Amino acid sequence: MLNGSGIKIFSGTSHPELAEIIARRIGLPLSKAEITRSGIGETNVTIAESVREDDVYIINTGCGTVNTALMELCIMIHACKIASAKRITAVIPLFPYSRQDKKDKSRAPITAKLVANMIQKAGCDHVITMDLHASQIQGFFDVPVDKLYAEPSAILYIRTHFNIDDVVIVSPDAGGAKRATSIADRLGVDFALFHKERKKANEVSRMVLVGNVKDKIAILVDDMADTCGTLCLAASHLSEAGAVKVFGFVTHGILSGNALATIEASNLEKLIVTNTLPQNGNQAGCSKIEVIDIGKVLGEVIRRSHYGESVSKLFHEVPY
């Protein structure tokens, strides 16, 4: 697809499988970089080929040891910058610290802004990310940010796996209502949502369903699933409200703590996640998890970005 002149794709250690999928989509091998750790945990990066006057894309996502992945990304950007790369793009499918996006209590840090500053100061010229937890994070950057959506992939999956007449799209909280209504409108189906009250972070005290799901297949839609307490509680309420089956669709399957056991024991038939994070271990640990590939979307965005083509078409359809 590309002749290789002028473009280099590097991968950090957080999600090499996704980097390989993206590189295959573009038709180029991953460029060579060596990442090692010293005895005290410092990250050492060696860029093993010339990047002078090249368009460089560095792929690293916010998972696993997030701080290590973030430092890797910044060091790789800096290494390419001082090696005279023409343009450096950070491809960050899951933006690290995206939940710390506002000062919601006294003396709370806005860490997502700090991360944006770090990435820019390292020498990044352009950022590609997917389904930011809070849209205002785009405004934390002074460089262009392409925020992609998993919505087209979700719609394609729903159209190919379900009878649309039986489906209702459900948001597990009021914050995700816009995302869920967008999918429901494009599918031409009904929409419902939960109003929830939290005692403290990751602990839900009460959930009230607004909308009708009786005799329907309910599909819960959210941007990320961490401990899965909210999703699984919502699934239980939907079953009680008369839903025939309950499915979940989330972009970022973080699935920390006892999430896998919680999902396995829940009323969810399946939890569909994308591969913005590595999911092989989660699939092995839970039979209800299904993964859809967004590597081809990221690969197509990189191709379009390199050639100066519009990426807005990918907000509404999945590339083939």
Q: Quick one: pLDDT at residue 198? A: 61
Residue 226 in contact with residue 253, Cβ under 8 Å?
no
Q: Quick one: pLDDT at residue 199? A: 64
Locate 285 and state its tokens. Answer: 């640990």
CATH topology (fold) of 151-292: Rossmann fold (3.40.50)
Residue indicated by tokens 């389904």: 131
Q: Which amino acid is located at 4 in the chain?
A: G
Residue 59 in contact with residue 22, Cβ under 8 Å?
yes
Strands (E) across the chain are located at 7-11, 33-37, 43-47, 55-59, 87-92, 126-130, 145-148, 167-171, 190-200, 203-210, 217-225, 245-253, 268-274, 289-292
SS3 187: helix
Q: Quick one: pLDDT at residue 64? A: 83
Residue 301 in contact with residue 146, Cβ under 8 Å?
yes
Cα 269 to the chain's mean position, in Å? 22
Q: What is the pTM of this model?
A: 0.93
Sort residue 228 into left (φ over 0), alpha (ψ -120 to 50) or beta. Answer: left
The residue ranges of every structural domain in the chain are 7-149+295-315, 151-292
Domains 7-149+295-315 and 151-292 in one fold:
yes
Cα dist. 19→11, 57, 59, 310 in Å?
6, 10, 6, 22
| Rounded Cα gap, residues 81 and 79, in angstroms | 5
Mean pLDDT in runs of 10 for the chain (320 residues)? 73 96 96 96 96 97 93 98 97 97 94 98 98 94 96 96 96 92 96 79 74 96 94 94 97 95 96 97 96 96 95 88
Q: Which amino acid is located at 222 in the chain?
A: D
Locate 118 and state its tokens. Answer: 């770090």
Cα dist. 50→33, 54, 287 in Å?
11, 8, 44
DSSP conformation class of 117: H
CATH number belonging to domain 7-149+295-315: 3.40.50.2020
Q: Quick one: pLDDT at residue 4? A: 47
